[in-house]
Structure 1
Amino acid sequence: MELSKSFPLFENIKSVIADTQLAVVRNINQAMVIAYFQIGRMIVEDEQQGKQRADYAKETLLRLSIALNDEFGRGYSVSNLEYMRSFYVTYRNRISQSATGENNSDENSQSPIGNLEKSFRLSWTHYIQLLKIKNESERSFYEIEAAVNNWSVKELQRQYGSALFERLALSRDKQGVKELAEKGQLIERPADALKSHYVLEFLGLKEDSQYSESDLETAIIDKLEHFMLELGKGFLFEGRQRRFTFEGDSFFVDLVFYNRLLRCFVLLDLKIGKLTHQDIGQMQMYVNYYDRKIKTKEENPTIGVILCKEGNQTVVEFTLPEDNQQIFSKEYKAVLPSKEALKKQLE
C-alpha cells in the first residue's frame, strides 16, 4: 500500500535529513579546500627549498600528478596542482593575519586548521573562479557575496561577468568602495540597494529591437528569479500592475517589490525611452500613495525606481529635492556591459 507523504512527521524528518545532507556536503567541500591549501603550501615550500627553476618545477608537478593519481584516483592533474599552488600564494597572507589576530582566544582558533576553517567558506570550484580575478579588492568582494548569498558557481560567474563590483562601486565614494571589498554589499539606506544600472541580458531582448513597456514587463515576469537576483539583496516580489483609483481615474504600478532589509516597499515603473519629468512626477504620486495608504507605521518610506532605457540626470536633479532618498532613475542594458569601460569610469 502506497502511503501519503503529506503528514507532519514525514515533513519534519524530511527537513532534518535534507539539512544533514547539506551539512555533510558543506563539510566535505570545506575539508577538500583546506587539504588543497595545505598541498599548495607544501609545493611552494618545496620550490623555495630547492630554489627550483621554472622548467624543473613543472617536471616536479608532472611527477607528483602521476603519483597522486595512481594512489588516489583522478583530481590531481598538473593544472589542478597549479591551482592549489596559486590558491596558497593568493590566500596565505589572510591566514597569517588570522593567526596573529587579537580575537583568537579559543583553542580551535589557535590551530592552523581552525584558522583555515574560518577563512574558507566556499567550494573548490568557487575558488578556482575567484583565482581568475586579479584585483584583490574585487576578488574579496565576490568571495564575500558568494558566501553570504549562497551563490552557485554559475551565479558567481554571471555576477562577475555582468561587472557587479564595478556597477556598485560607481555609485559609491572611495570609503564605500573599500567597504565593498572588506564587507561585501551592506544595505543601510535606499541608495545602497541600487546599482549604477541594471543588466537584463537574461531577458533575451536585443539592444536595437523595438519593444513596448508591456513586452519588457512580460519578459521580466518570465525571468523573475533572474531579475530579482539582478535587483540585489532582500527583494521579495509583491505583484504586477497594482491598481489604485482617484475620483474614477485608475493608475497602475508596473512592478511592486518589498525589501526585507530596508523594510519598505519598492515600486518599479518601466520606460523604454528617455526619462522625462512626467515620469518622475508619476512615480512621486505612486510613492505618496503607498506611503499614505499602504505602508504601516513600523515600515520605512517607500522607494520608487524608474527603470528606463536612457536616463536624464539634469531632469532628476531639478525635479526632485536635493535630499531625495525615495525616488531614483536607473538605466537598464539589454546586453552585457564592457568591464573595461566600467573600470575606466571607476578609475
Structure 2
Amino acid sequence: MTFGNDRGTAAASGAASVMAAMSGGVDSSVCALLLQQAGYDVRGATMVLRGGEVLSDAAEGEGPTCGSSRDVEDARAVCRRLGIPHDAFDLRDRFEAAVVRPFCGAYLEGRTPNPCIACNRFLKFEALQKHRRQLGLDYVATGHYARRRWDEATGCWQLLRASDPAKDQSYVLYHLTQDTLAHMLFPLGELTKDEVRELARAHGFDTAEKPESQDICFVPDGDYAGFIEGRCGADTAFEPGEIVNREGRVLGEHAGLIRYTIGQRKGIGVAAREPLYVLGKDASANRLIVGFKDELLSSGVVACDVNLISGGVLEGPREVQVKTHYRQRPVPAVAEQTGPDELTVTFGEPQRAAAPGQAAVLYEGDIVLGGGSIVRAF
C-alpha cells in the first residue's frame, strides 16, 4: 500500500520515513497504524497549540480541545502501543499569529472566516513540513479524508476528493502546492469513518471511541463574540447599530455586527411578513443588512488569495464544480481567472449565502483544482 505514492521521493519498500501528524484522535491514530503496516519508518508528531507546559510525558490533561495536553497524551499513548517515537512541537505562537489573531480580525471586519483552512495551511502543512525537512524525513502524513495522485499527462500531482463523500475533507486543502503534495501521504483517503473506527478497536486504541471535535477548537462553547470580546476588548463590531433592508430602510437595531453571520435567521429581532435573514454587514456604517430568503441567493463570487494546485493559471473561462461551504455539495459553475490573484466564479444556478471570508474551492469531478478566499458575492 503506497497511498498514491507512485512517484514519490522514496519507495515504501525502501522504508521511506514518514512524520505522522497525530492530533490525538482516531483518524490520525489509524493513519499511523496503516503507515506502519505498509512498511514505512513512522515517527508520530503532535502540534501543541493550546495550554501550558505540555511537552513532557507528565503533562496534565486539560479537556477536549485540539492541540491540548490531553491530545498530546492520547497521541503519545498510540505511539507507545505501535512502538514508534513521538515528538510534540510547540506551535502555540504560530497558531496564535496565523490562526487565532486573523480569525478575530476577520470577524471584527465583518467577514466569516474558516480558521480550519488557516490551521491546515500554516500549521499542519507549512510548519510540519518544515520540521520534516529539519529531521530529514521523506513525508508528512495526515488523517485527512482526501487522496493524491500523480498525473503522467500533465506531470503534476493531483489532490482528489476522498472515496467516501460523507467524510471528504478536500475543501480545506485547496491551498496545497506541488512541493507539498510531493511530500504528503493520505492513508485514509479510501476508507470510511466506520472502517477507521473498526481498525482502531481491533488494535486496542483508546482513541477508537473518542468523539470528533466539533465547531472551532479554540472556541469550544461556540460563543465567537464572547471569545473575541475577551481578547480584543471594545470595538465598533460590538456596538449596537441599525438593521436595514437592501434599500437602506431602517427596520430596527442590532446588538453588534459580530453577533451575526451571513444567512442567519434566528435572533434578528425584527417582525416581518416572512422570516428575515442576514444578507450582509456594512462594517464601515455599522449596519446589519437583512432580507427575505430569496434575497440570499447570489449569481457568483469573487475570490482572492488564489491557489491553483497545478501551480499554473486558469486559462480562459472553465466549466467546474464549486463549493463555497465545507458541507455543500459541489455545484456547476464557470470559473475565470480575472486577475493575478483573483477568481470570478459564476454559478450555473443562484446559490445561497456565499459569505466573504469563506473559501470558494474548484473541482473537476474528484480533482481539486484550487480555490481562493471569497471577498464578495454578486
Q: Which has the higher helix share?
A: 1
**TM-score, scaled to structure 2:** 0.25
TM-score scaled to structure 1, two decimals?
Answer: 0.27
Question: Based on CA coordinates, which of the two structures has the bigger radius of gyration?
Answer: 1
Highest RCO, 1 vs 2 (Cα 8 Å, sep ≥ 6): 2
